[in-house]
Structure 1
Amino acid sequence: MVISILPDARITVSSVLNRDVKQFGSKYLTDGDEETCWNSHQGSPQYICARLAAPRRPTELQLQFQGGFAGGDCWLEAGDAPDQLRRLHAFYPENVNRLQTFPVDCPEPVTHVKVVFNTSTDFFGRVVVYKFDLLADESPKTAADDPAT
C-alpha cells in the first residue's frame, strides 16, 4: 500500500514571496486546500526540503504548479541528514496547472528529501506550488529486503 510520508514531516523552503508566510508559506504545500499555495520569492534556484518523521523509501513525487510559475530543470536529493544529501535524479515538469507525478528510485530509506527547482518558467525565477506530496510503501524497505538483489 502506498501512503503519503509528509503529514508528519517538517517542511522548509528556500524563500517566500515578500516574506509573507501567512499568505504564501510552506504550510500550504501539504494542507490539502487547492486554493492555497507556496509562492517563492524571485531568484534561482528555489527548493523545498522535507525532514521525515521516520526513515522511508520514497517511490513517487507529486507536484502541482501554477502555470507560468513551474520549475524547469529540477532534481531530487535524499539522505540521512541535510549535509548528506545525494542527487537521485533529474525531472522536467510541464508548465501546466495539473497535478504531475514523477517516479522516485530511492535505494534505501532516508530521513531528508530536497526538491530543487534550478530554473523556473517565470522570467524572475519564482515558483508557485499548490500541492507537494511524497509517496512511499507503507512499510520501509531496504535493498536487503528485496530478494531480487
Structure 2
Amino acid sequence: MPDAELIPLLAKEVVKLRVSSVLNRDTKTYGKQHLLDASEETCWNSDEGAAQWVDLQFDRPVEIFAVHLMCQGGFVPREAKLTAPPPSQATDAPAAAFTFYPDDVNSRQVFTTDAPLRGNHFRLHLSTSSDFFGRVTIYHLQMYGREVVA
C-alpha cells in the first residue's frame, strides 16, 4: 500500500459506468446507478449469464489499490478480476489485472493489492456466480486509490 492516504474514487461526477446486463431490463429498480448511490437498500442486479461485468471510465488517470464490495449472499461472483488495458491499444501487452475471490456472504468485503492498477478505463469481470443462473447482485462497490499526478 502507498504511504499517501487512499481516497474513494467512485463518484457520479467522475466515473461513467456500463454493465453487462440488468435483471429483466428493469433499470429503475436494478440499474447501474445503484452501484454508486451509497444505499444498502438498493442494488445492481445482473440478468442471467455466465460472465457479468462492470465498466468504469474515469475522467482522469487513477491508481486503484483496493476494491470494496458487498453482494447479496447466493448471488456472489466466485471470482472477480479488475483489469486495466495497456496504455496503448497498439501494443500486444496483456491487460494489467487484479484477481480476488469474494466469499458468499452479505457483508462488505475488502480486497487489496500491492501492485495498483493504473489508467482511466477499468473492467470488473464477475465470473461464475454462486447463483445457478449466473446472476450477480451488488449493493456496494467502491474503489480506493489515488489520482495520478502527471
Q: TM-score, normalised by structure 1?
A: 0.86
Q: State the Cα distance separating 1:113 from its structure 2 match.
A: 1.0
Alignment partner of 1:118 is 2:122: no
Gaps of 5+ in 1: 143-149
Q: Are positions 1:89 and 2:98 aligned together?
A: yes
CA distance in 2, matches of 1:65, 1:73: 13
Q: By how many angstroms is 1:72 displaced?
A: 0.7
Gaps of 5+ in 2: none
Give the TM-score, by structure 2 length.
Answer: 0.85
Residues 88 and 106 in structure 1, CA contact (< 8 A), matched pair in contact too: no
Higher-helix-fraction structure: 1
Asked if residue 106 in structure 1 is aligned to residue 116 in structure 2, the reply is yes
Q: Which amino acid aligns with 2:6?
A: V
Note if contact 2:86-2:95 (Cα within 8 Å) is conserved in structure 1.
no
Normalized per residue, which structure has more strand? 2
Q: CA offset at residue 87 of structure 1?
A: 4.2
Render the CA deviation track for 1:83-109: whole Å, top value 9, x for unaligned: 6871413211000011111113225x3
Question: Cα deviations across residues 40-64 of structure 1 (Å, max 9, x unaligned)?
Answer: 0001100111001210011101110
> Partners of 1:53 and 1:141 in 2: how far apart?
13
Q: Does residue 26 in structure 1 map to residue 25 in structure 2?
A: no
Counterpart pick for 2:140 among 120, 131, 141 = 131
The 3-state SS of whatever aligns with 2:128 is coil
Are the aligned partners of 2:86 and 2:96 in contact in 1 as well (CA < 8 Å)? no
2:7 maps to which residue?
Answer: 3
**Number of corresponding residues:** 139
The two structures, once aligned, show a CA RMSD in angstroms of: 2.0
What percent of counterpart residues are identical? 35
Aligned pairs (5 A) from 1:4-83? 4-7=8-11, 8-79=14-85
